[in-house]
Amino acid sequence: MPGGDAALGAYISGSVGTILGAGFRIREELSLGESITLVGGLGYEHTNLSARQTLYNYSATGTPSTQVVTANRTFDNIAPEAAILLRASDSLRIHARLGTGYGTPSNTSFFVTPQGTYGNNTQLKPQTNVGVDLGADWFVARNIELSVTGFYERFTNENVNQSPGAGLLSYTFNAPSSAHRGLVAGVNWHPLPELVSGLRFRAAYQYDAQVYRDYIEQLSAGNLSSSFVRNGNRIPGVVPNNLNARLIYDKPSSRYGNFGTYLETNYRSDYWLDNANLLAAPSATVFDFDVHYDPAPGHGFWSRTHFYFDLQNLTNRLYVGSASNITDTIGSMTGEQNGASTLASTTGSIYAGAPRLSIGGFRFKF
């Protein structure tokens, strides 16, 4: 290949640049008696991105022509927050928080234009979000603890990647508005504290519904382009329901050490893979098993060793471990959006989960 190694081909592009980030964070807690705690904080970050990408185009004679794309952007972001912790009683704690955040575009997102070609894309804005959450921790009894927290976040100018059409490069743009809302709940239960003191049951559940509030997607094929309103659609790649439950037995002994084991299940619901919400990855439930042992203290190096053996995916279930988002397409002759059957034929998106796997070993502390 002209200008390059015969096996690797010619040099296509190269990027060099610098990233400078500097900031500070302050946080203060104020106790008003024994039952109320106020928390306030502020984060600030200054980011300077300076990069240059050189593109090489080769002619029939092998002499390359170059195209240089520069990107220079400076961002100043501020994120304040406030929270309150209320101890309503010895067994009930209520907490609330108002927080803000930001996300700065990466320098690589500045080199592809919305037309899907190499060029300057420095008009990108940093994404910002405002979120609130309200929750409680309740010690129902000596052996039962419950917790639940609801949250709502509003994102503005979220940095999203999409393809402008077939054969074109994916680019980064600012989706005007999206919302993330849901709840997190947990339980910690000692079912038989007197008879079997080492037996516990723990479970955690998360519901996460992320939707577009204001987003118009443009798709292209051939000489046609069409726009589709995605308002109200779920954001692809986000699993709405996650459940982890674990039955644990740990029996500490000052003479024989600590022996423990647990059986765990992880459930993940199906989730969308594309912006039009036409194709979803299926749900999956995976079981894991673990045994571990910690020698009794007072035996030097031996007491600093932890032994374990895990069996993951106990039932050897075939499931989707992860999946890349899929870009929706339109017909090159009609401009209409293709259906789920067309998306399902897309290859390279699905990654299988690990089969039954055994892991054993030890760790030690110095």
Q: What is the CATH number of the domain that holds 340?
A: 2.40.170.20
Helical ranges in the chain per DSSP H: 340-344
Q: How far is residue 214's CA from residue 72's CA, in Å, rounded to a whole number?
A: 28
Q: Do the beta carbons of residue 184 and residue 205 sit within 8 Å?
A: yes
- Domain hosting residue 136, numbered range: 26-46+75-364
- What letters, b where the CB count within 10 A reaches 16 and e where it falls short, cover 289-325? ebebbbbeeeeeeeeeeebeebbbbbeeeebbeebeb
Position 79 in a domain:
yes
Cα separation, 305 vs 301, whole angstroms = 7
pLDDT of residue 198: 87
Contact assessment for residue 325 and residue 273, using Cβ atoms and an 8 Å cutoff: yes
For residue 182, being part of any structural domain is answered with: yes
Beta-bridge partner residues of 82: 40, 98
Check: CB of residue 96 under 8 Å from CB of residue 132: yes
Asked if residue 253 belongs to a domain, the reply is yes
Q: In the numeric block, which tokens belong to residue 245?
A: 């439950």
**Domain membership flag for residue 18:** no
Q: How many CA atoms lie within 13 A of 309 on its CB side?
A: 3
Tell how far CA 258 is from the center of its chain.
35
Write out the two tokens for 228: 């589709």
What residues does 294 pair with on adjacent strands? Answer: 258
Tokens of 174: 């600012």
Please give the DSSP secondary-structure letter assigned to residue 89: S
Q: What is the pLDDT of residue 327?
A: 83
Cα angle, residue 166 at apex, residues 71 and 65 outer, rounded to 5°: 45
Establish if 70 belongs to a structural domain.
Answer: no
Q: What is the pLDDT along the chain (366 residues), one digit of tens a residue?
A: 455 566 677 778 888 889 999 999 999 999 998 899 999 999 999 999 998 999 888 887 767 888 898 889 999 999 999 999 999 998 999 999 999 999 998 888 888 888 888 888 888 999 999 999 999 999 998 889 999 999 999 999 988 877 676 567 888 888 889 999 999 999 999 988 888 888 999 999 999 999 999 988 888 777 888 889 999 999 999 999 999 999 999 987 777 888 999 999 999 999 999 999 999 999 999 999 999 998 888 777 788 899 999 999 999 999 999 988 888 888 888 889 999 988 888 888 889 999 999 999 999 887
Tell me whether residue 12 is in a domain.
Answer: no
Q: Is residue 8 part of a domain?
A: no
> pTM for the whole thing?
0.80
Q: Structural domain tally of the chain?
A: 1
- The dihedral region occupied by 119, where left means phi > 0, alpha psi between -120 and 50, and beta the remainder, is left
